[in-house]
A and B are shown apart, each in its own frame.
Chain A
Amino acid sequence: MDITYIILIPLIPFSVFLLLGIFNQQIKPAISGYIGVIGLSISALLSYYAAYQYFFVYGKVDEVYQTFVKKTVWMNFTDTLHIDMGILVDPISVMMLVVVSTISLMVHIYSRGYMKGDDGYTKFFSFLSLFTFSMFGLVLATNLFQIYMFWELVGVSSYLLIGYYYTKTSAIAAAKKAFIVTRFADFGFLIGILIIGYYTGTFDFETLNNPEGSAILNWASTSYMGLSVITWALLLIFMGGAGKSAMFPLHIWLPDAMEGPTPVSALIHAATMVVAGVYLVARLFPMYYFVEDGFALKIVAYVGAFSSLFAAIIAVTQTDIKRVLAFSTMSQIGYMMLALGVSGYKGIEGVGYMASMFHLFTHAMFKALLFLCAGSVIHAVHSNYLKDMGGLRKYMPITNITFLIAALAISGVPPFAGFWSKDEILVAAFENNRLLYYVALFVAGLTAFYMFRLYFGIFWGKETKYEHIPHESPLSMTFPLLFLAFMSIVAGFVPFSELVTADKIGFEGHMDYPLAVVAVAIGLTGIIIAWLFYKKENDLAAIFSSFFGIFYKWTSNKFYFDEIYLFVTKKIIFDHVSTPIARFDKKYVDGTMEGIGNKTVLISNKIKGLQSGRLQDYAFFFVGGVVVLALVFIYIWTN
């Protein structure tokens, strides 16, 4: 089984990026769109082929999915530590290849319609290709350092794409914020990598993840502040993952990131890049699970659960449709983290791991679809705000239907995709941690509620008078919607438990009917409440929100987290660290150096009076000197 061709999957977008980036001015927009789409289609086909080959042809040996690695040394640090560049093929990386290439291809096609007439059309496609390349590289990474490198690259692509409308101040601020917050998280990630490298002597995933390997068996050898250093490292690495995946409290960049063009939000901030944190934890899952009996994994679970609840509550009150979706993304990623956190390792115990990956897969489909639908709506009404929308079902039938499918999928209504994956997550949570199960269940209800609030608000509700009559989007935009809607229906039927599992041995998936019924009931309740509130224009919602009073206000202001961060950065870092340092530098450090110079000048001014140029003074000193010397010598000689 030759896996060399897989290298082409990232390289094709990369060459597209170079081509479009360097010949930005020369290539006509129409052609650049085609180049992007064709390049990515090839990548996507190769990904599907690779997935088929891996899962059904050569991947399985003795009922166990094997890991195939092909790598070359990129840089040597010491005799044992080095960075390799290569590709690692195992169930989750292949699954991610499929996700990334599918979503990216759809977004490419969609963008041809959405970005039509934009000044930076070619630039946009080159950035998209850069992102896709980096994401493929991240997914295929063979070691911690390689993943870190591509991790940074996706961060930069995200920066470039959020700040795509670079003349808008809010977009620049959002891009900057996204980059710096994730960079701060990456600081933790990097330290984690350094610790791992120091204590285990390797960055390689295969060596690290080997349950019988020294990295896992020797976790207890050194400890620091009551925890194993490896646990600390894993927590720091999770900090990196939490930054990228917008987990509480590093989530603040994600809502602002919605300043980017909507296709970008769909690709990067919904389906692919933001799940990189989940992917990272999954990638190191054996380490998380075995080191210190999964202490770090518990933290992951609680952070995930809290983020998921936190984001769902905020999502209920937001009025910008993209921000609702952003918080929904954060909430769903929290779900995946939760699922990973409660997972076991062997066989059916690893249902959480499987569920997490499953949810990652289905979520990518329907969340991308939701964003693209939102993009289609925004394209039609030129506004992001719910208040400017309403009754759009008549004007935009395809968007309406596809949005409904996606909303049903995310709410966990059978037989749509979200139902299957969510159910598995709830099963995993139920069996491991009841508290987290109830949190997850509550979030499921909230999800259904805010999603249908959005749906009814956009497509039903009040009849808004539009300045321009909204119209359905062109085919280039509706085709991806239809395709993803189709995927949102069928993705749930993929037998994930047989393909992607923690110990790489498939197990028989099963349906836990009582739990499923409860989950569906909760979801339907949420939908019904939303239906009551928002289907027709009425003031139920207003009454209800006034009932919550101050809590509502806090929620709609996102619990003032932005303000807290702003306070810390602006007030503390800028005003109380940076400014004093600048002043200290000028006044004391430079002052000392200047002082030395000035003192020299001063002293020389004092003594330069001696060199008056008056011959008589010189003669006086000369004679005086002679006399003094004569007296001294006489004194010496006479004694």
Chain B
Amino acid sequence: MDILSLFVIVPVLTILALVFTKDLKQARITAMIGSLVQLGMAIHLIFSYFEERAVNKSIMLFTQDRVWFEHFNIHFATGVDGISAALLLLTSIIVLAGVFISWKIDDLPKEFFISLLVLATGVYGFFISIDLFTMFVFYEIAVIPMYLLIGIWGSGPKEYSAMKLTLMLMGASAVLLVGILGIYFNSNANGGALTFNILEISKVYIPFVAQKLFFPLTFIGFAVLGALFPFHTWSPDGHASAPTAVSMLHAGVLMKLGGYGIFRIAMFLLPEGAKEWSWFFIILSAIGVIYGAFGALKQTDLKYINAYSSVSHLGMVLFALLMLNKTAWNGAILQSLSHGFMTALFFALIGMIYGRTHTRDITKLGGLLKVIPFISVINVIAGLASLGLPGFSGFVAEMNIFVGAFQHDELFYRVATIISVSAIVVTAVYILRVLGIMLMGPINNAEFLDLPKTTWYEITGILLLLIPMIGMGVAPLWLSDMIMASIQPFIKGVLKF
């Protein structure tokens, strides 16, 4: 059994074990053990990746290939590079944190954890695949449980939000499927067989006309998941209705699938198309960056604020990817990781605050720093990290993006960069506004004078997310070098044109 397939097998086994559990206690312990094993595997993977990388210079390591459906040349092909290894680690941490945050879920716990792990399976599978078709399948596996998770365990207008989210993502994946098939049917340009394997396709020159046609399809198909303006509207409603752990997982990991897919498929396989279209999508993503930040400025619901801030931050990821250079790409991947931790932490905190005060409206909250100091202090830290304070991961990622984007030779791109940089000011405004209203000031509601203390599982969940965030921010060198090295073969394809 190779170590990558285990990433799919372990969650499946956990799900099987969960089927036999009887109550919340057993379910959460099982889910926790499964996620812990997964985390251990992810850490192990990072170390073995470094070992293997030292001797093996190929693009993907630990590659495995099993025929799945011979007629169409579909394989279950797996392999990782530094980027997917890092994202796997991110996923496993967030899943574990999500399990801790849902420690006290009382409504259908078994089913909840099963859905959560199905989602996780999809994400893991997506990150380890190097076959377009299996990637697509795992992508769908990850999206579908969202409907159940939001529709059943959500709050507010949950059916509406779940429907909206699922429909928009499904619509996007329809577009994406066309793009993928377009790539597939052009993958025999040099006379070989049709193939879904990314590495194989990358050796083929796909005709320019096809690239130009299929790049936008593939890009938009993934970018909807990455909340590209104007396809972001599922995200605020979806996040607002989703239960805490699902918001964490969704914003923290699932939305990263968008950026990752663009990087791995759209940019890698269709570099010329990317070059051709980048100006157009740059405009959209730069609008998204600013627009999300301004959108967050006026909201009063904590989850909406965070959802809009995600639009802004992930707009940055797409923006950086479109800059088509090494530093910006590095920044995009780092931003994906950093935003994953940050936003998951935010959603966890929002969940805790909501669980105690039963409101997410910041105008009703106030002075929480006095009542629940631990959560509030972490909230301040997360807020500062989110506005790009040095010492946290956000700074590292953003600076890579800005410096990288600014290296572009054309003035248009540099101007777009300056516009995006201005988001750091607006971000500061909305973050400080929330902190000021929610945590500081007098306590304006007598009910909030005495709130429950934080529990060990909440603290564990928080620390799991906080530590990598600080680690990345204080000592980014190893991570950014690992990612940079993995980007190298990808950037070569783009630079050829």
> Hey, which bits of chain A sit against chain B, CB under 8 A?
73-78, 81, 83, 145, 148-150, 152-153, 156, 159, 163, 166-167, 169, 172-173, 175-176, 179-180, 183-184, 186-187, 190-191, 194-195, 197-198, 573-574, 577-579, 581-582, 585, 589-590, 592-594, 597
Contacts and interface: CB of A to CB of B under 8 A. Distances in A.
Contacts of A195: 406
Contact of A75 (B295, B436, B477): B477
A187 B422 contact: yes
Given A172-B436, A593-B233, A76 B477 contact: yes
A198 B391 contact: no
Nearest to A197: B403
A597 B400 CA distance: 39
A169 B230 CA distance: 37
Q: Which 4 A-B pairs have the closest CB atoms?
A: A149-B390, A590-B233, A166-B440, A578-B297
6 contacts: A149-B395, A150-B390, A176-B433, A180-B428, A573-B297, A594-B164
Contacts of A75: 396, 399-400, 476-477, 480
B327 A187 contact: no
B476 A187 contact: no
Contacts of B295: 578, 581-582, 585
Contacts of A581: 291, 294-295, 298
A180 B406 contact: no
A585 B287 CA distance: 12
A173 B230 CA distance: 34
Contacts of A167: 367, 370, 440-442
Contact of A197 (B388, B406, B421): B406
A198 B291 contact: no
Contacts of A175: 432, 436
Interface string B344-388: 000000000000000000000001011000000000000010011
B188 interface: no
A395 to B, nearest CB: 34
A602 to B, nearest CB: 15
B421 A191 contact: yes
Main SS class of interface, B: helix
Given A76-B477, A78-B326, A198-B406, A183 B424 contact: yes
Contacts of A153: 389-391
Given A166-B439, A197-B406, A597-B167, 12 more contacts: A75-B400, A152-B388, A153-B391, A163-B436, A167-B367, A175-B432, A179-B428, A190-B421, A198-B414, A581-B291, A585-B291, A589-B229
A574 B432 contact: no
Given A78-B326, A167-B370, A191-B418, A179 B432 contact: yes
A166 B403 contact: no
B476 to A, nearest CB: 5
Interface residues of B, number: 56
- Among A149, A153, A577, A585, find the residue whose CB has the most chain B CB atoms closer than 10 A: A585
A592 B418 contact: no
Interface in B404-442: 404, 406-407, 414, 417-418, 421-422, 424-425, 428-429, 432-433, 436, 439-442
B260 interface: no
Contacts of B442: 167, 169
Nearest to B433: A176
B266 to A, nearest CB: 22
Nearest to A173: B436
Interface string B474-489: 0011001100100000
Contact of A183 (B428, B436, B441): B428
Nearest to B477: A75
Interface in B166-184: 167-168
B298 A578 contact: yes
A524 B93 CA distance: 69
- Among B399, B403, B481, find the residue whose CB has the most chain A CB atoms closer than 10 A: B403
B477 A73 contact: yes
Contacts of B403: 77-78, 81, 194, 197
Contacts of A150: 390
A585 B425 CA distance: 21
A543 B1 CA distance: 94
B294 A78 contact: no
Contact of B425 (A156, A163, A180, A577): A180
Nearest to B479: A75
B299 interface: yes
B389 A156 contact: yes
A184 B396 contact: no
Contacts of A197: 403, 406
B490 interface: no
Main SS class of interface, A: helix
A180 B429 contact: yes
B436 A593 contact: no
Interface in B290-345: 291, 294-295, 297-299, 326-327
B103 interface: no
Nearest to A589: B230
Given A194-B402, A198-B406, A78 B477 contact: no
B287 to A, nearest CB: 10
B422 A198 contact: no
A582 B424 contact: no
Given A167-B370, A197-B403, A581-B295, A74 B476 contact: yes
Contacts of B370: 167
Contacts of B432: 159, 175-176, 179-180
A123 B390 CA distance: 21
Contacts of A73: 477
Given A163-B440, A180-B428, A152 B367 contact: no
A116 B326 CA distance: 54
A156 B384 CA distance: 8
Contacts of B439: 166
Nearest to A149: B390
Interface string B456-486: 0000000000000000000011001100100
B436 A176 contact: yes
Contacts of B327: 77-78, 81
B257 to A, nearest CB: 20
A639 B247 CA distance: 67
Contacts of B402: 190, 194
Nearest to A159: B432
Contacts of B164: 593-594, 597
A74 B481 CA distance: 11
A585 B227 CA distance: 13
A240 B167 CA distance: 46
Nearest to B334: A75
A166 B391 contact: no
A150 B390 CA distance: 7
A195 B411 CA distance: 12
Contact of B424 (A166, A190, A579): A190
Given A156-B384, A593-B168, A187 B421 contact: yes
Contact of B404 (A77, A186, A592): A77
B440 A172 contact: yes
B399 A145 contact: yes
Interface in B219-253: 229-234
B476 A152 contact: no
Contacts of B297: 573-574, 578
Nearest to A585: B295
Contacts of B389: 152-153, 156
Given A163-B440, A577-B294, A582-B298, A76 B406 contact: no
A497 B425 CA distance: 40
A582 B299 contact: yes
Contacts of B476: 74-75
A597 B237 CA distance: 15
Contacts of B428: 179-180, 183
Contact of A76 (B167, B387, B390, B480): B480
Nearest to A73: B477
Contacts of B168: 593
A557 to B, nearest CB: 25
A575 to B, nearest CB: 9
